[in-house]
Structure 1
Amino acid sequence: MPRFAANLTLLYTEHPFLDRAAAAARDGFEAVECQFPYEHPAAGFAARLADSGLPLVLMNAPPGDWAGGERGLAALPGRESEFRLSIDEAIAYAQAVRCPRVHVMAGRLPAGSERAALQPTFVENLAWAARQAAGSGIELLIEPINLRDMPGYFLNRQDHAHEIVELVSAPNLKVQMDLYHCQVVEGDVAMKLRRYLPTGRVGHLQIAGVPERQEPDVGELNAPYLFGVIDGLGYQGWVGCEYRPRGGTSAGLGWRPGR
C-alpha cells in the first residue's frame, strides 16, 4: 500500500493550520505536506509537527506575489534575484522543520512571451537552486500543473518536466507527479506511472479526484487500480493527498486502503 501524506493546506481546514498535523495523526496518516507555511514561525511549526509525531515531507518555495496572481518565479526572466532569495528562504525554513523536499514553482508566462524563450531561465535558475540546496540534503521538485486550474503556467506536461530535469542534470532535482494534473492535461495515467517511476526521476506523487479535485474515490480516476500500479512498480516515496474534501476531512477518508 502506498504511504500517504495529508496536505495540510487543503485538508483539515476545519482546524487552525498548526492543529492540522495532530488531526492527520489521529486519522492514521504517516506524514504531512503543505504548500506555503511561511506565515508561521518555523520553530513553532516544527514543535507542533514533533508533537504530532508526523514528518513534514514536502513544502513549496515562496511563489512571489500569490495574491497578485504570481505562481512562482523560476522561469521568469529578470526576477533572478528574487528567485534566489526565495530559495534561500525555503532552504532555511525546510531545514528548521526538517522537511527534505521543496517544490519550486515555475511561474506563469508573462504577457506576450513564448514558453521556449523562458526555458533557459528556468534551467539556469534550477541549476543554481540545486547547487544551493545540495549541501543541505534537500531535494528540489518541479511539478507540471494543468492550465485549467492555473492558466498560463509554464510547466504542464510530464515529458517536459523530465526533459528539464535531464537538462539540469542535478541529483537533487526531481519531478513531482500529481496524478490529478496529469489526468487533466494528458490522461493515460497508469502508463505515465509505468514510464516515469522506473527512471528514478520522480521524487513525490500526489492524488486527487478528477475533475473536481475532491477525494480520489470520486471522478474519472480509478484510485485503487493506480495504487496497485504504484505498489507494483516498487515506489517507496510518499503520495500526497492534495484534494479539497467534499465535507469534513475525516469523514471523507473511506477511500484510503485499510480504512
Structure 2
Amino acid sequence: MSFNNDNHSNEESAEFVIGRHPALETLKNNQNINKVFIQDQLKADALFDIASIAKKRGIIVNKVPKGKLDLLADNQNHQGVVVAVAAYKYETLDGLLTNVENENKTPFFLILDGIEDPHNLGSIMRTADAAGVQGIIIPKRRAVQLTSTVAKTSTGAIEHVPVVRVTNLVQTVKLLKKQGVWIFGTDMEGTDFRKWNAQGAVALVIGNEGKGISPLLKKECDEMLTIPMIGHVQSLNASVAASLLIYQGFTSRGN
C-alpha cells in the first residue's frame, strides 16, 4: 500500500503507491490520501479514471513531468501515476481476531517466518486475498516489511489483507493455539499437502526462502506439510509454494 522514502523532502518524504492498478485500489479503499501525481501529457484511460475518482473525492491531482514521478518512485515503473498517502497502519493481533469473530468467520491466517524478498511477499498477499485468507502475520525484524515493491507486486491486494507485525512469532503462535487455532508448518518432510484438511481455525506457516521455518517455531506447529516433487529441482519459490498450500486450504474449506 505505502512505503517510506527518506531520500527526498516535502512530497518526496511522504509514503507512495506506484502503478495504475495499485493506485486505483488505493483510491477506492484508502481514506488517507494526500495527493495524486499523474504524468503530464501521458494519455491513457486508466490515468483518466484515476484522476476522475480522485477529483470526485476532493483529492488534489498534480500533473507533473515524468522525471518528477521517476524521483518519487525511486525509478521504479510507475506507469505514469504515483499516489501520496499517510503511513500504512498495521493491524494488531487482537484487532485481527476481533474482526474475524465479528464477521462470524473461521480463522484462516498466514504466518510468514522471515520472508525477505518483497516480490514474494507481494505475490503471497495477492494469492491470500484471492483465497480469502483473513490476515497475514509477519515479524518486525529480519523480514521484509510493506514496501513499494510489495505494494506493486500485490496489485492492490495490500489494501484488502490485514497485516500484523509482531515481535515474537513463537509467542504469537502460542497465543493463537490458546484461541483454538491449529498451526500447520511447511517442510521437506511431512504430510502430503494434498491431504491437508484446513477446515476449522487454522494458520499456515511459510518459512524463509533459504532457511525454512526456524527450529523453535517448527516445534510449535501441530503438523508439517510437504509438497512432493519428482523433478530435478527439489525446491520451489516461496510464493509459488505458498500459493499451492493456500489453495489446498481454500479447497478443503469448501470454497
Q: Is the TM value for this pair above 0.5?
A: no
Question: TM-score, normalization: structure 1?
Answer: 0.27
Larger Rg, first or second structure (1 or 2): 2
